[in-house]
Structure 1
């Protein structure tokens, strides 16, 4: 596979994961994100995008990265991988494994994303 093919595959997967058209960008950080994370890791067989998103939501919540979790929640709703009830259940479930404050914060982020979507 050429570098150009890998970039195209990565951009296509990134667009699929986030639910919007992602264009090529400058810099090595962007290149590694697209060429490795999305062309190689998100494209591997064995787990669906939904599976990967569930794992990512748990990891982000455990690390307190709620700004990134907000992006993932919006993408999951847009791509119809998870619905409101499932997202709230994820937050409650995570309360028991990573702590009540983090799970509660995720529930709040879910509520915020849902409210923004309802305004549209």
Structure 2
């Protein structure tokens, strides 16, 4: 965990930042999990009542955005939620449900062989 804590000094990779937030939440390190979540809040993409994340502002990969946004959602939901936090997560869930395909799943981030 100390190695991961050191990596929070560089939060330039949104995917890694989302993973770190989730890892520190699962580890019960709420002091450290706050820093990545605050950064993620600053780089969130807000459109109407929807909230999501992409690797970069010009990233067009819907599947990567779904994966990053899910990790942020897991980090938020795995911590103790205030009513304000719960309202925040609703905006993420609304965006995620809009990304579902007609079968209820999502496009894959895994390469098919």
- In which range does the TM-score fall when normalised by the shorter chain? 0.3 to 0.5
TM-score between the two structures when normalised by the length of structure 1? 0.35
Structure (1/2) with the larger helix percentage = 1
Structure (1/2) with the larger strand percentage = 2
TM-score between the two structures when normalised by the length of structure 2? 0.36
